[in-house]
Homo-oligomer: A and B are copies of this chain.
Amino acid sequence: MTEFPAPILTVDVILLALHEDKLCLGLVRRREPPFQGMLALPGGYVHVDEDADTTATALRVIREKTGLTGLLCEQLATVSGPKRDPRGWSATVVHYALVRGGLPKSSQPRPDDLTWVPAASPGALAFDHNDLVAAVLERFRSRGSWSSLPAFFLPEVFTFTALRNIYEQVLGTALNDSAFRRKIDELNLLEPVAGHKSKMSARPAQLFRLKGGVLRTFDRRI
C-alpha cells in the first residue's frame, strides 16, 4: 500500500449554555501562535487509546476543561484544507455541545480556562471559528423547528413558558403562545411533574420534563 503524508486531525467544540436568558458561547484564550491571545473554540487531539469516536473526544475535552458532563453533543461538520493550520493540511471535526440548566455558578473545577461570551456577538475569534459559530446557530434554527433540541438548554424540569422562551431564543423569532402549547401537546413531548414553581408574585406554573428525556425529531414544524 502506498503511504501518503497524513493530515492533522483535531476536534473542536462549540460549547453553548443559557445564561440570563441569552445563549452564550464557551471559549478558551490561545496561549500559543497562531492567533495567540485570541479567543477560540475549545478543542484537542483524538486520544486513540481512550476515545470511542470524535464525539467522545469532544466530551472529554469539555470535561477536562470545565468538569461539565451530561451535555447533549452532536457532530456539526468537518472543515478541512491546507491553510487552516500552519503545520500543514488539517481536518477538524466540529461538534456542538449544550449545557443543561444554564451556567454553573463559578463552582466548576477550572473556571479560568473558559470565557463565556454572547453567542450572537462573540467578537473576533481565531481561525475560521466565527464561521463555525454562525453555522451552528443556523443549524439550530433549522433543527429547533423540527426537534426537541432547544429543550436541552433547560434544566431537567421546566415550565411551559421557559420552553417557549428557549425555542424563541434558538429560532430567533417570537412564537404564538397558544399555537405553541397546542403543538407541544399534540407532539406528546412533555409529562407534568408534581409540584409548582413560583416566580415574582404571580400564578405558579406547572412543571414539566421531557418524556423519555431524549432528543426527539418531529414530523411537524414547531
Q: For the complex, what is the distance from the CA of A48 to the CA of B88, rounded to whole Å?
A: 8
* Contact residues in B for A137 (Cβ distance below 8 Å): none
Q: For the complex, what is the distance from the CA of A46 to the CA of B47, rounded to whole Å?
A: 21
| Size bracket of the A interface | 20 to 34
A75 at the interface (CB under 8 A from B): yes
Copies of this chain in its oligomeric complex? 2
The closest CB in chain B to the CB of A82 belongs to B48
A179 at the interface (CB under 8 A from B): no
B75-A53 in contact (CB<8A): no
| A9 contact from B49, B75, B91, Cβ within 8 A | B91
B5-A48 in contact (CB<8A): yes
A93-B78 in contact (CB<8A): yes
Minimum CB–CB distance for A222 against chain B, Å? 13
A52 at the interface (CB under 8 A from B): yes
Known: A9-B9, A91-B54. A4 touches B45 (CB 8 A): yes
Contact digits for A1-23, partner B, Cβ 8 Å, 1 yes 0 no = 00011111100000000000000
B80-A48 in contact (CB<8A): no
Minimum CB–CB distance for A59 against chain B, Å? 14
A53-B77 in contact (CB<8A): no
* Contact residues in B for A88 (Cβ distance below 8 Å): 48
A89 at the interface (CB under 8 A from B): yes
B52-A81 in contact (CB<8A): yes
A4-B52 in contact (CB<8A): no
Minimum CB–CB distance for A153 against chain B, Å? 23
* Contact residues in B for A6 (Cβ distance below 8 Å): 6, 8-9
Contact digits for A41-77, partner B, Cβ 8 Å, 1 yes 0 no = 0000111110111100000000000000000000101
User: What are the 5 tightest A-B residue pairs by CB atom distance, in nearest-first order?
Assistant: A48-B89, A53-B80, A4-B45, A78-B78, A53-B81
